[in-house]
């Protein structure tokens, strides 16, 4: 099999294998609720990071506004369902729409900024939003937040167990990954890569820089909004602490650890930042330090993250396997 054929084969087999693994994972985990909780959280982080990998990983725009859109989605859905009594699935749609509209409005002025200036402006946006949420106690419940959020339901069936919620979250995650995968391979993906290298060069090659950036930022906002809504209806309460700057930084860390220019990187990073703290919990007061050192090491020694390291390892193995195979046939 030539390299081109094996790559094409990999492209077809990987999505099928991914869907299959998501399907049977609960069986492999033995139906343990605590493990399913972790899998739900990984799925939610993955959804946010799919959006971020389009904006930051492919497009090179370092946005720290993911927490803000995650919070907008979460509060929209929470308010729709508790104050208006709307069904949760409608709340999810409202969450996606609100986050998307705000993202789209914000995109035009804010995406003129670059690198650290963009990072700081998006971060500032998040901080302002958190303050507004904390202070509008009548609507949002202030620092205590809102309790007893309902579970999503379709007709009589409610997603109120870790197992059913796991399938809900991962269906959304796989759908988002599928959309993102098609975008990355399309002309838009190519244009985003081009503008991350040089905006002037990309524009001179016919890339509509402002429009591409705006739509990616909006899509990222929609995905973060949906993820936020999924999160709060799972834990059944909402408070502003979940949407602080540290969440945005965590999302960037996921891409730095996993690899910022591929969906596999977003997934590996999401798994790493969810599972690592649990494994490190036994080190108690040293856990935060170990996590920080591991993050630093990943940034310094794995320039393309875990996904990059993995794929170069696979390439090296296949090359050496092929050369030893050729030697054997001689």
Give the binding site for other proteins (CB under 8 A).
Answer: 60, 62, 109-110, 112-113, 115-117, 119-121, 123-125, 127-128, 131-132, 134-135, 245, 249, 252-253, 256, 285-286, 288-289, 291-293, 295-296, 299-300, 303
110/188 with CB nearer other proteins: 110
Three-class secondary structure of residue 261 per DSSP: coil
Query: DSSP letters of 86-109?
Result: --HHHHHHHHHHHHHHHHHHHHHH
Q: Least separation, in Å, of the C-beta of 169 and other proteins?
A: 28
Which CB atom, from 113 or from 151, has the smaller least distance to other proteins? 113
CA distances from 89 to 44, 92, 94 (A): 16, 5, 9
> Which CB sits closer to other proteins, 114 or 185?
114
Least distance (Å) between residue 314 CB and other proteins = 24
CB 317 within 8 A of CB 278: no
Rounded Cα distance, 129 and 227, in Å: 18
Distance CA 303, CA 11 (A): 24
User: Cα-Cα-Cα-Cα dihedral of 165, 169, 171, 175, to 10°?
Assistant: 170
3-class state of residue 302 by DSSP: coil
- In whole angstroms, the minimum distance from the beta carbon of 232 to other proteins comes to 23
Q: Rounded to the nearest whole angstrom, what is the least distance from the CB of residue 298 to other proteins in the complex?
A: 8
Q: Please, which residue, 121 or 207, has the CB nearer to other proteins?
A: 121
Q: Is the Cβ of residue 128 or residue 317 nearer to other proteins in the bound state?
A: 128
Give least dist CB 8 to other proteins, A.
Answer: 31
β pairing state of 157-158 and 153-154 = antiparallel
């Amino acid at each position: 099999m030539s390299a081109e054929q094996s790559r094409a084969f990999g492209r077809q087999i990987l999505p099928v294998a991914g869907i299959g693994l998501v399907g049977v994972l609960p069986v492999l985990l033995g139906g343990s609720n605590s493990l399913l909780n972790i899998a739900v959280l990984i799925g939610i982080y993955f959804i946010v990071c799919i959006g971020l990998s389009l904006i930051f990983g492919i497009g090179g725009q370092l946005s720290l506004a993911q927490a803000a859109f995650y919070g907008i989605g979460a509060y929209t859905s929470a308010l729709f369902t508790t104050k208006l009594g709307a069904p949760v699935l409608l709340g999810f749609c409202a969450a996606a729409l609100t986050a998307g509209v705000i993202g789209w409005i914000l995109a035009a002025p804010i995406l003129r900024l670059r690198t650290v200036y963009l990072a700081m402006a998006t971060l500032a946006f998040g901080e302002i939003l958190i303050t507004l949420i904390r202070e509008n106690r009548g609507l949002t419940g202030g620092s205590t937040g809102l309790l007893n959020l309902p579970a999503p339901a379709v007709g009589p069936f409610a997603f109120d167990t870790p197992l059913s919620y796991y399938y809900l979250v991962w269906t959304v995650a796989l759908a988002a990954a599928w959309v993102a995968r098609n975008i990355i391979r399309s002309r838009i993906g190519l244009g985003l890569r081009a503008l991350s290298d040089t905006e002037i060069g990309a524009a001179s090659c016919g890339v509509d820089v402002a429009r591409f950036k705006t739509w990616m930022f909006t899509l990222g906002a929609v995905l973060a909004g949906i993820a936020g809504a999924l999160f709060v209806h799972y834990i059944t309460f909402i408070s502003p602490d979940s949407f602080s700057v540290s969440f945005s930084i965590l999302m960037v860390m996921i891409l730095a650890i996993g690899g910022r220019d591929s969906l596999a990187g977003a997934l590996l990073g999401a798994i790493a930042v969810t599972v690592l703290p649990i494994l490190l919990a036994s080190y108690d007061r040293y856990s935060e330090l170990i996590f920080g050192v591991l993050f630093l090491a990943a940034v310094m020694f794995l320039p393309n993250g875990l996904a990059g390291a993995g794929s170069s390892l696979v390439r090296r193995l296949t090359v050496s396997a092929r050369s030893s195979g050729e030697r054997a046939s001689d």
